[in-house]
A and B are shown apart, each in its own frame.
Chain A
Amino acid sequence: MTAGFQAPARARPAAEQEATGAPDAAATESSRARPPGIAATVGALLRKELLVELRTLESVPGMSLFAVTTFVVFHFALNRSSVEGDLAAGILWVTLLFAAILGINRLFVADADQGGFDGFLLAPVNRSALLFAKALTLLCYLVVLELIAVPAFALLLLGPPLGRALPDLLAVLALGDLGVAVIGTLVAALAVRTRARDLLGPLLALPLLVPVVIGCARATEPLFSATRATAPAARWLLTLGLYDLVFGLIAFALFDFLLED
């Protein structure tokens, strides 16, 4: 928490350019005078993350393709051409969860392997900015994933029409994504600098995400009802919101400790 703040401001531009390949002229200018605020740092980091993803296309296409393929696998494994109700909610959320885990596993890999962490630690900025930026990055990934996966699900497997359930579904998706993004970022940061990171990431993430899956699946279930879509029970949305909030606070409190070396 302390060492990074005292690092000379001059070190930042060089380190960042080296680490990310995406120099940020505006932020560099202001950092000479005083350290940038947390919002500016999060903005710069988020821009860098999305730029890297746009140039390499490492995560999101893979996640989307995985989700669509999984729907096909579910079709054959269950031998059903259409699903509804609790089964549909379960399939949708299991698929989204596993696709998200692909993204979670890759979230910090470039930073750990190519010196992104070192570059960030040399910069005189608030360390929590990395948590916010990475969680927002994961959130963006998940939104793009769902823009592809949910229509694909409606097309390939879902029995009842999606249209009327959509507004409620968007609320559930938003709350679920928030939880996955926060927990996923914390877990990815925990696992990335271990020997077995590909294994530990999912092993840590899945139990922590069980309550999110419970809340999302139960809230989505009435939306996919075969007879008439009804609004999800408020208590599930409330549970999800509270869970997101609590884990957001936990991640905020603990993230700095993962970045000390």
Chain B
Amino acid sequence: MDSSRNAHRYGKGLRALSISTVAVITIALGLVFFYAPLEAEQGFLQKIFYLHVPLAIIALCGFVIGGLLAIQYLRTRDARWDMRSYVTIHMSLIFALGGLITGSIWAKGSWGHWWVWSEPTLVSFLIVFLLYATYQPLRFAIEDPERQARYASVFAITAGAFVPLNFIAVRLSTAYLHPRVLESSSNLPTPMAVTFLVSLLGMTLLFATLCKLELTAKHTRAQLRALRRRADRRSGADSHSGWAGEAQRGSSRSAAPALHHATTMTARSAARQGS
């Protein structure tokens, strides 16, 4: 009863979010290919701008949001905040990889090189990516779930503060800046700006949907495991070996050890209700 209500709460809004994501991204793609004018210098290649820039913006915002969620975890010590922080950073890392690849393609198309050191945004983005690439190795190298959440939060806050600082430092370091026609949406012609904003909105929705999906999946899996454990005990099977076997299976399968923590919490509350 309770668990199904919980699952409903967690999955709530996922369908609406998914549908709006699909709708907005379809509109954005339509605008990109049929409405936005061809850029005079770069021609068709410039269309990657509507993919690359939103990906990068969302990734960076996601990193900073991950830091804010980690602050919330350290304040409340509620494992759910840590899981949200983990999922946000995880998704941002994927988006950042997409941003790096599309940026590289764009650089090859417009400047003739896959990598351009004189472009400060790209360089700082790489440094941030390299830093966040150590987030998961750091997490998974700590066994105790509580300490894992705490250390990961400290990392997330430090790295979240590092993101803007690093951009300032790298921007200072490049002697000259590339002439960037498309730097901000303020100097874009209106059709391009509209297309860009719709693309950004679509990408934001995609990010939110994916985060929500991962959170729901993690929560559902944790609940399933707790229920199975409860069923095992009720059926009067050898409870000791059942617990140990289940715990082992859980830790080997778990993608995020934060989940494990949530699992034990859910299991404990389930046991309380059961008894």
Contact = CB atoms under 8 A, between A and B. Distances in A.
A211 B124 CA distance: 10
Contacts of A208: 131, 158-159, 162
A117 to B, nearest CB: 12
B150 A200 contact: no
A190 B172 contact: no
A204 B151 contact: no
Nearest to B144: A261
Interface in B127-175: 127-128, 130-131, 134, 137-138, 141-144, 146-147, 150-151, 153-155, 157-159, 161-162, 165-166, 168-170, 172-173
Contacts of A195: 141-143
Contacts of A51: none
B137 A215 contact: no
B173 A196 contact: no
Contacts of A235: 172
Contact of B141 (A196, A243, A261): A196
A194 to B, nearest CB: 4
A197 B134 CA distance: 12
B270 interface: no
Nearest to A246: B165
Given A196-B141, A204-B155, A261 B169 contact: no
B197 interface: no
A172 to B, nearest CB: 15
B74 interface: yes
The interface size bin for chain A is 20 to 34
Given A190-B151, A257-B154, A210 B141 contact: no
Contacts of B161: 246, 250
Interface in A183-205: 186, 190-191, 193-197, 199-200, 203-204
Nearest to B159: A208
Nearest to A249: B161
Contact of B158 (A199, A254, A260, A261): A254
A260 B134 contact: no
A257 B153 contact: yes
B166 to A, nearest CB: 6
A140 interface: no
A260 B131 CA distance: 25
A218 B169 CA distance: 11
Interface of B: 74, 127-128, 130-131, 134, 137-138, 141-144, 146-147, 150-151, 153-155, 157-159, 161-162, 165-166, 168-170, 172-173
28 contacts: A191-B138, A194-B138, A195-B141, A195-B142, A196-B137, A197-B141, A199-B137, A200-B134, A203-B134, A203-B137, A204-B134, A204-B138, A206-B130, A208-B131, A208-B159, A210-B127, A210-B169, A214-B170, A214-B172, A239-B168, A246-B161, A246-B165, A250-B157, A254-B157, A257-B150, A257-B153, A257-B154, A258-B154
